[in-house]
Structures are given as C-alpha cells and as structure tokens.
C-alpha cells in the first residue's frame, strides 16, 4: 500500500488567546500552497513546497532580502493570500530554521508540519468556528429619512435632546465586549463618585429575545417560507403577515405575530442565518445604512430552491407611530418605550 499524501500545514499557533485571532493571520489548518517575496503580485511568482523542510529553505532564502513574506494558503475551497513575517523557529535548537508569524501580532507564531488533507480540514473547521471566517454581513445601502419631520414630531423639545450618550470605541486588539463594557462602567462610576449628577439609563449592544430562535423548514413542493416582510422608515425589517400552514406558521411566527399585533408591537427580524438585519450606521448625509433587500431575498430564495431551512432571530419593539402631545415637564418625565 502507498503512503498517505501530506501537505505543508499550520499545525498550531503559539498565541493562546483565541479571541484575538482573525482571518488575516496564519491559522491552524491552513495549507500553505506557496510563498513569495512581499512585493509579489502575480500568482506565478509563488513558489510551492511539498514538505515542511522545503518550505523552511524557501523562507530562509526570502529572509536574506526581507523579513516579510506573502503566503498563499488553502482554506476549504478558497485560496487566501496573507502577509506574514519570517521569524526564527525557537523549537529548533541545533540549527537556525524559520517559520512565520502574523504581520499584525508578534505573539501569533505558526508551528508548521507535514499533515494529511483530512487532518488539515479538521483543524480548519476548528479555526473557522473560532474566527467565523464564513461570516459575511449583508450588503448595505443608504435610505433617506425625514429627520426634520421626525425631530419636530417625536422630541418633546426639538431644540435640545432629552438624553445624553457617549460612544466607547474598542481599543486596539480589544475584541471582547465585556472588556469594553467594563471600561465604560468604570468611567461612569468614577464620574458619579466625583459628584457628577449623571443618571444611568442603558448600555446596549442588541436587544434580542434570546429564547426565541426560529428554524423554518420548507416541506416538499413549497415555493415560499410564508412570511412577508417590510422595512420601517427607521430601517428595521419586520414581519407583517404570515401565511397559514406555511413553514413560518409551523415554526410559530403566526402566533407570535398575532400577539405582537394585540400589544401594538412590531415583529422585528434581528438576524437571518446569523447575519444582522438591523440598521448599522447613519452617515454624514443623513442616510440610514440598512441591509440590502435584494441580498435578503437572494438568501431566502437560495434556501427555498435547495429545500434548506433558514434560521431567524426575533426581537419585539414598541410600535409608537403616534406620540403623545408633550406636557410642559415632558423633558424631565420622558420614559423609555416600555417604562410606565
């Protein structure tokens, strides 16, 4: 029997903080198909290596002229080009050998090895779950909004806001939400302790009904999932009708929509297939950037054509299209939508 073929692969990385991995770094399971000098542009400039020993020699040659290298790696069905740094392999004591590390993080050093395709793909799946390489948000587009009308209609005093806010941006390499929230609360607590009369209202990343995650399964012959959606002026995607005995109805969306209508709420889809559908930003021209309807339709149509299920997350927001007339003390007594 012949030997099992192997490829040069990233067996592991020395950075243990997986929260700081990203898809621009060499990741466990990456199959290294070729290397080239940092200024290479064309695919034919990449030189392949069939074994770890050959790759080490190539890295040594490139290191004579530059500490940076371009890697062409195979991740699943995709070929990805990465910029990396050549570093000495500290696992080897007797002679100088080389490996690579992430260009953006000197701690992220790759351990290379000769591995089977099957072993590489198993590592790739682990890496994919950690950094979610397959996640791509829906395309967005800007929609116009009548800010002047809304400010005049919905603010008790259109000349000033009734609440203040501060935006905390993550620091470099700070990818854990809890760290960002801790910094925000430390700032707020310090301000209160010094005598600043602040009143805490909310820190929010996403208001979601986490216990309600719906999986919609089409039956043979069904050409629709059975829910009709529309976008609000503010850019949210809402369910406004559910077809009886459809996949959406069988999943329980019909009952939830009836309940939302009775309580004058909107049934908002916050995520589709794990991707956010909520408005993401308001630009300097006043356009609200929302997920593209065509992108949503393509995702749903593709799933129904393949007879595959889709997963949606639902959140419920108050439907306050007719604001009450503000009283003279409205600016002091205005409550959040659910507050009474």
pLDDT, tens only, 82-131: 999 999 887 666 667 899 999 988 999 999 999 998 889 888 888 887 77
- pLDDT (mean) for 41-48: 76
Question: For 152-198, how does the pLDDT look when each residue is reduced to its tens digit (9 = 90+)?
Answer: 787 766 666 556 667 777 777 766 677 778 888 888 888 888 777 77
| Residue 109, pLDDT score | 93
Q: Assess contact for 337 and 320: CB atoms under 8 A.
A: yes
CA distance 20 to 282: 28
| Residue 152, pLDDT score | 79
Residue 47 DSSP one-character state: B
Instruction: Give the chain's end-to-end CA distance (angstroms, integer).
Output: 77
Q: Assess contact for 179 and 185: CB atoms under 8 A.
A: no
Question: For 208-228, how does the pLDDT look when each residue is reduced to its tens digit (9 = 90+)?
Answer: 444 477 899 999 989 999 999
| Residue 263, pLDDT score | 83
Q: How confident is the model at residue 295 (pLDDT cuts 50, 70, 90)?
A: confident
- pLDDT (mean) for 281-291: 80
Instruction: Reply yes or no on whether the pLDDT at 2 is more than 70.
Output: no
Tell me the C-alpha to C-alpha distance, in Å, between residue 221 and each of 181, 218, 225, 310.
48, 8, 11, 16
Which is more confident, 299 or 20? 299
Which is more confident, 242 or 38? 242
Q: How many C-beta neighbours within 10 Å does residue 283 have? A: 9
Q: How confident is the model at residue 54 (pLDDT cuts 50, 70, 90)?
A: very high
Question: What's the whole-model pTM score?
Answer: 0.45
Q: How confident is the model at residue 327 (pLDDT cuts 50, 70, 90)?
A: very low
Pick the CATH number of 140-161+206-321 from 3.40.50.300, 3.10.20.30, 2.30.42.10, 1.20.1630.10: 2.30.42.10
Instruction: Reply yes or no on whether the pLDDT at 264 is more than 70.
Output: yes
Q: Where are the domains of the chain?
A: 6-131, 140-161+206-321, 164-200
Instruction: Reply yes or no on whether the pLDDT at 330 is more than 50.
Output: no
Tell me the C-alpha to C-alpha distance, in Å, between residue 179 and each of 104, 170, 176, 243, 282.
21, 9, 6, 44, 26
């Amino acid at each position: 029997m012949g030997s099992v073929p192997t490829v040069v692969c990233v067996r592991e990385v020395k950075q243990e903080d997986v929260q700081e991995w990203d898809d621009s770094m060499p990741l466990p399971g990456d199959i290294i198909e070729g290397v080239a000098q940092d200024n290479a542009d064309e695919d034919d400039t990449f030189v392949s290596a069939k074994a770890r020993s050959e790759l080490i020699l190539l890295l040594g040659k490139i290191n004579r002229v530059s500490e940076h290298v371009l890697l062409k790696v195979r991740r699943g069905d995709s070929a990805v080009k990465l910029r990396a740094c050549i570093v000495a392999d500290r696992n080897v004591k007797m002679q100088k050998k080389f490996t690579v590390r992430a260009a953006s993080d000197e701690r992220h050093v790759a351990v290379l090895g000769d591995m089977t395709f099957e072993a590489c793909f198993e590592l790739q799946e682990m890496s994919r779950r950690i950094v979610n390489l397959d996640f791509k948000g829906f395309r967005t587009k800007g929609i116009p909004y009548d800010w002047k009308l809304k400010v005049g209609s919905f603010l008790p005093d259109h000349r000033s806001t009734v609440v203040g806010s501060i935006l905390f941006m993550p620091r470099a390499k700070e990818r854990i939400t809890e760290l960002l929230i801790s910094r925000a609360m430390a700032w707020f607590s310090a301000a209160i302790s010094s005598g600043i009369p602040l009143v805490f209202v909310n820190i929010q990343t996403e208001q979601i009904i986490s216990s309600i995650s719906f999986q919609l399964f089409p039956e043979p012959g069904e050409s629709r999932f059975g829910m009709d959606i529309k976008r609000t002026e503010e850019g949210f995607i809402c369910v406004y009708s559910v077809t009886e005995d459809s996949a959406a109805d069988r999943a329980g969306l019909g009952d939830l929509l009836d309940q939302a209508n009775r309580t004058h709420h909107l049934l908002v889809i916050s995520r589709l297939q794990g991707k956010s559908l909520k408005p993401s930003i308001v630009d300097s021209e006043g356009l609200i950037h929302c997920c593209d309807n065509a992108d949503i339709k393509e995702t749903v149509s593709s799933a129904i054509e393949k007879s595959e299920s889709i997963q949606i997350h639902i959140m419920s927001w108050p439907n306050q299209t007719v604001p009450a007339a503000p009283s003279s003390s409205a600016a002091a007594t205005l409550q959040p939508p659910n507050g009474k």
